[in-house]
Amino acid sequence: MEIMGLMIIVILVIVGVLFAVKFVVLKKPAEVRQTFSRTQMASNFGLALMSSTTADCRGTAIKNLLIDCAEWPEAGGTITCDDGRKSCAYVNATIKDLLNQTLDVWKTRYYFTAGTSKALDAQIIYFQNSCPADKKLPGESESFFLPTNRGLLTLKMFVCE
């Protein structure tokens, strides 16, 4: 009879432990700072990038180089920078350099696209770091829109979890 009582106690203890493990130990920690950082990163990167003035391309804003590149992708853009590069080549190199100095250094997984159509191969800008745009991965994104004569140029910064 006592053995039965002991068994019930043991079963109750096991159930209690399982509950504790389920709700306390296996509880996913809240990633407040990480989520905030990703959201802030995506939105601020785009805003700061678009407003930046180029160092050696007649003081043109990156935003205007992107628009020019999107309007004349066949010619590589119409604006010729101080070093002879056209707007598409210049803006590609500048954005790549910026990403290398920031998100790549911080080991942030991201993709950045810019284009007037949704197709990935039609994007005028596409950079990624362990987070390809053709895969649906969890994360935070921010889109920016610039009007061009080829339609709306959409810049998308996606920061993966």
Partner 1 sequence: MGETIAIMFVFFILLVVGAVFYMNLQRTTVTRDIAEAYDLRAVELAQTISFLPEAQCTESNVVKASCFDIYKLIGLSKVAATPQGRDLYSNEFGNTKILLVKVYPVGGEWTLYSNPKANFTNAPVTHIPIALYNTTSDKYYFGVLEVTTYQ
* Interacting residue ranges for partner 1, rule: CB under 8 A: 2-3, 5-6, 9-10, 13, 16-17, 20, 24-25, 29-33, 36-37, 40-41, 43-45, 47-49, 51-53, 55, 59, 61, 94, 97-98, 101-102, 106
Nearer to partner 1, 63 or 86 (CB): 63
C-alpha to C-alpha distances, 40 to 37, 43, 61, 66, nearest whole angstrom: 5, 5, 22, 22
Least distance in angstroms from the C-beta of 124 to partner 1 = 19
Least distance in angstroms from the C-beta of 57 to partner 1 = 11
DSSP bridge pairs for 159:
110, 140
Least distance in angstroms from the C-beta of 122 to partner 1 = 26
145 vs 161: CA distance, rounded Å: 24
What's 35's DSSP letter? H
Nearer to partner 1, 19 or 122 (CB): 19
Q: In what order do the strands lie in the sheet with 125-129?
A: 125-129, 110-115, 151-160, 139-148
87 vs 84: CA distance, rounded Å: 10
Nearer to partner 1, 72 or 111 (CB): 111
